[in-house]
Amino acid sequence: MADALYLSLWYPNLRLASLADKLTSVLSAFAAYGGEARVYAATVWPVSWSEAPVFQRVYGRGERGAEPRQAVDEALELLHDDYAYEFQITWSLWELETAPNLDPRWSRQPRLVRVTGFGPLFDEGAYEQEGHIRVEFGTDGAFLDEGNELGAAAARHVEENVRQLVELTAAIEKGSGATARLLWSEMGESLAQRLAARLGMGN
């Protein structure tokens, strides 16, 4: 069953004024690991997720997108302890395409990833559980492909997606100076354990 996949990052004694540099570093890492170099959209949420955004801008994909530093600086002009700053950036993975009357085939497909920086008072201190910065990768199907038989070709594409994920998360951690990170799923299950079991079935 597909599950949402997240990466949470924590930084020691992080001051709110330093959040911009951390967010810029995280967003800038995507270009080297299958993502776009520019930010698709930015949204600023006040107090909690139930409130209406106080800032929202869609830049667009490709050349229409904003450089990470530009997008972060624009959003963080509204710098408050109880705000959250969400950015969307495109990341491509191998996905299995299925269509009526056509054989399934693997191709690289773009997906929007959400990178959110939390003020310390947003949603009653959500950062303690979610991380100072949280990356939402979308569903974990591209890393497990649990709905299909895992043959040699599928295993190869799944392994490439996993390698891309591991390399990206390591680069994000190192580049942004995180002292703790956690790759986790919405259901609380271990991606590593599910992956080991999945790839073991295909061998």
| Angle (CA) 47 182 75, round 5° | 35
Q: How high is the pLDDT of residue 144?
A: 78
The model carries a pTM of 0.91
Half-sphere exposure of 142 (CA within 13 A, CB side): 23
The closest of 156, 161, 142, 133 to 202, measured between CA atoms, is 156
Q: How high is the pLDDT of residue 148?
A: 64
User: Which residues are CB-neighbours of 182 under 8 A, at least 6 positions away?
Assistant: 7, 8, 131
Q: How high is the pLDDT of residue 64?
A: 95
Q: How high is the pLDDT of residue 201?
A: 47
Tell me the helix, strand and coil percentages in the chain, rounded to 5. Answer: 35, 35, 30
All residue ranges of the chain with pLDDT < 70 are 1, 145-150, 188-203
